[in-house]
Amino acid sequence: MAVVEELIRVGNNETLSFGNYKLDKKSKLDNFEFGGDLYKVKTFKEITKLERNGMFVYESVPGTVVSGLKVTDSGVEFQVEGPEDAQITLELEEQTEYKVMVNSTDSGQMKTNLGGKLSLSVELSEDAPVSVVIKKIG
């Protein structure tokens, strides 16, 4: 998976790809329309952040490249790549249990906090995308 040179784009399968951890300076793109929503991405080597209609969706420290992001009522799935391990935070339903799978390995269940945030650590290396699938339980 390559970095997203245009910072954010729509994939053939109607998913989003975004981020560029190779940038030395913060770059952002605002008002990217997709599925009737407006997205904003900020990315560089230290952080990658995605917002939808002004609300938090995704953040990684350090910066990452995300491809195939698909958010549904039952969860979220995407591929992520970066130069080193990353802490990823997602906005989901508040006070809800989710099953977390990383590269098809069960990473257990996690419950979001009152704000709906779910954080996980992912072991990354360049040119080796990692699959993340988070499904609502129940």
CA–CA distance, 12 with 44 (Å, rounded to integer): 25
CA–CA distance, 53 with 72 (Å, rounded to integer): 16
Q: Quote the domain boundaries for residue 93.
A: 8-136
23-80 confidence digits (pLDDT tens): 999 999 999 999 999 999 999 999 999 999 999 999 999 999 999 999 999 999 999 9
Averaged pLDDT of the chain:
94
Structurally, the chain folds into a number of domains equal to: 1
Global confidence as pTM: 0.94
Beta strands in 1-137 (DSSP E): 8-10, 16-18, 27-34, 37-44, 47-52, 55-61, 65-72, 75-81, 86-91, 97-102, 105-111, 117-122, 130-136
Let me know if residue 51 belongs to a domain. Answer: yes
User: Which positions ≥6 away from 104 have C-beta within 8 Å?
Assistant: 131
Let me know if residue 103 belongs to a domain. Answer: yes
Let me know if residue 3 belongs to a domain. Answer: no
